């Protein structure tokens, strides 16, 4: 396996008409709802702390309305390798029925590449980082 110095982020777009909570509940890893939502979205995330760690985040517009070019769901997987990202995304898609199939516009891809910076924080402080996402603060 080739390890990259900078974390790699895989982004996939698609349409999912059911509630994201339903899809998230089907994944074998315990996805946590994220309270730090951006705009009109519901989001779930999971960080796997292991020898080959990864951070998975999936979001959906609350109203499930599609955004041109026709998506309402974004799946991102960040790790040290593209191979690991593809493996995790494939497993997520097969377990949940969420099948992103649209090309990712370049601007969106570059914006979501910033997830790599968050990944570094998760590697150093996984429990605090997930607590922050779930509660919106480090308190309690």
Domain count, the chain: 1
- Quote the tokens at residue 60: 């959906």
Looking only at the bridges linking them, the beta strands covering 54-61 and 41-48 are antiparallel
Domain contains 1: no
pTM assigned to the model: 0.82
- CB-CB contact of 33 with 43 (8 Å): yes
Domain contains 3: no
In terms of residue numbers, what domain contains 129? 8-134
Domain contains 139: no
Q: How do residues 57-84 score in pLDDT, each as one tens digit?
A: 999 988 888 877 788 889 999 999 999 9
pLDDT for the residue numbered 140: 46
At residue 129 the predicted structure's pLDDT band, cuts being 50, 70 and 90, is: confident
Is the pLDDT score of 25 beyond 80?
A: yes
Domain contains 2: no
Is the pLDDT score of 130 beyond 90?
A: no
Q: How far apart (Å, rounded) are the C-alpha atoms in residues 105 and 85? A: 19
Residue 85: CATH number of its domain? 3.30.310
Q: What is the DSSP string of the chain?
A: -PPPSS-EEEEEEE---S-HHHHHHHSSS--EEESS--SSEEEEEEEE-SSS-EEEEEEEETT---BTTTBSEEEEEEES-HHHHHHHHHHHHHHH-----BPPPHHHHHHHTTHHHHHHHHHH-HHHHHHHHHHSSS--
């Amino acid at each position: 396996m080739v390890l990259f110095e900078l974390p790699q982020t895989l982004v996939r777009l698609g349409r999912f008409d059911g509630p994201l909570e339903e899809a998230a509940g089907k994944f074998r890893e315990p996805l946590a709802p994220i309270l730090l939502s951006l705009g009109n979205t519901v989001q779930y995330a999971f960080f796997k702390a292991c020898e080959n760690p990864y951070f998975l985040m999936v979001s959906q517009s609350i109203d499930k309305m599609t955004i041109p070019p026709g998506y309402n769901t974004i799946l991102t997987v960040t790790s040290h390798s593209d191979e690991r990202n593809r493996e995790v995304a494939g497993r997520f898609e097969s377990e949940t029925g969420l099948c992103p199939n649209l090309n990712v516009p370049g601007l969106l891809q570059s914006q979501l590449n910033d997830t790599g910076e968050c990944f570094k924080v998760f590697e150093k402080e996984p429990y605090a980082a997930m607590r922050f996402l779930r509660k919106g603060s480090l308190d309690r």
